[in-house]
Copies of this chain bind each other. A is one copy, B any other.
């Protein structure tokens, strides 16, 4: 009988110290048996990546990317060697591999590389020898044999790509939370762990503020239909399954409430009401590589209108400068900024079929005396930009009104 293969990925906090590495080793061997082969992907120990990055920035404000990948990839090499040792110390056969050794070939964008192919032969050989395979996450190698890294959260991507290459039954993502919740449990104490969620919902939640998994990895898992199991490395409880279609998808309109407090709003006042003005403004900003989100233009009066939009807080200063420059050029009025905003969103595949969700959301917020600054929607989400210090109150009210604690 062909053995089943599972891929397990452990994040940095799961291997932050020797005790935790031993704990991970225990968990891994618990899955290894006559019928199962296990491939494990590990991130760097705790804050190793940040520490190495800090060293580099002491040498140069813009360290060369090829050298940066060379440097940062060591973090995962260390943790995979240590985990292999820990597993062997438990009496199991194990072998560690760098990204290159398992043939993870990437493009040449050194620190944000994309995986092109994975050559699974060395892993297949190790499986044949009944070894547990440990792979350094977050890294690969170009066709010129230069080391690359896959960008923040890249170990998730290694795990998903490996699961695809090995035809794994499931890809387990171990982290320091025990799954995806209907809302942040620190804000809503009734929040419930979601048992199953679709790739699309998870993607939407990741974009809208949930920080459990890197969106890119979810996209890849979706494309190849690889079930993900997000769970805690500190408990044996089942976490959240991310799948193509949940078992009772249609019944649930709203899967969860998310919140993003990392955006700021820019308003450019008294913009002349002429065609092509918006294109000019946002063309200029996109040139800076800044992602503009929700855009609202109010109804013009006296042939002048205000345009508001949101940008990541980290890009606010750059965006303000660019907006002021373009504002002058087109003869607009002053440019205002507002850091005190939050994006509160409802996400759920069932929204496609349930009408009235948006109207209900607006009413709930109105009942709470919360003013809605901007609104944006997608097929499976509705977001309202509100005052940041009212965000928790909004989330609690929405969670309760949509009865998410009963999911």
Using a CB–CB cutoff of 8 Å, the interface residues on chain A facing chain B are: 18, 21-22, 52, 55-56, 58-60, 63-64, 66-68, 70-71, 73-74, 77-78, 80-82, 84-86, 88-89, 95-96, 98, 101, 122, 145-147
Contact = CB atoms under 8 A, between A and B. Distances in A.
A122 B122 CA distance: 25
A381 B18 CA distance: 48
Copies in the complex: 2
A52 B67 contact: no
A340 to B, nearest CB: 39
Given A70-B96, A145-B101, A60 B89 contact: yes
Contacts of A77: 70-71, 73-74, 77
Contacts of A68: 81, 85
Contact of A85 (B60, B84, B98, B122): B60
A22 B82 contact: no
A58 B96 contact: no
A58 B101 CA distance: 26
B56 A82 contact: yes
Given A18-B58, A70-B96, A64 B78 contact: no
A81 B71 contact: yes
Contacts of A101: 145-146
A66 B21 CA distance: 18
Contacts of A71: 77-78, 81-82, 85
Contacts of A67: 81-82, 84-85, 88, 96
Contacts of A74: 74, 77-78
A68 B96 CA distance: 10
30 contacts: A18-B55, A18-B59, A21-B59, A22-B59, A52-B78, A55-B82, A56-B81, A56-B85, A59-B82, A59-B85, A60-B86, A64-B85, A66-B95, A67-B81, A67-B82, A67-B84, A67-B85, A67-B88, A67-B96, A70-B80, A70-B81, A70-B98, A71-B77, A71-B78, A71-B81, A71-B82, A73-B77, A77-B77, A101-B145, A122-B145
A312 to B, nearest CB: 27
B84 A64 contact: yes
A64 B86 CA distance: 10
Contacts of A22: 59
Nearest to A76: B74
A63 B21 CA distance: 14
Contacts of A55: 18, 82
Contacts of A81: 56, 67-68, 70-71
Nearest to A147: B98
Nearest to A56: B85
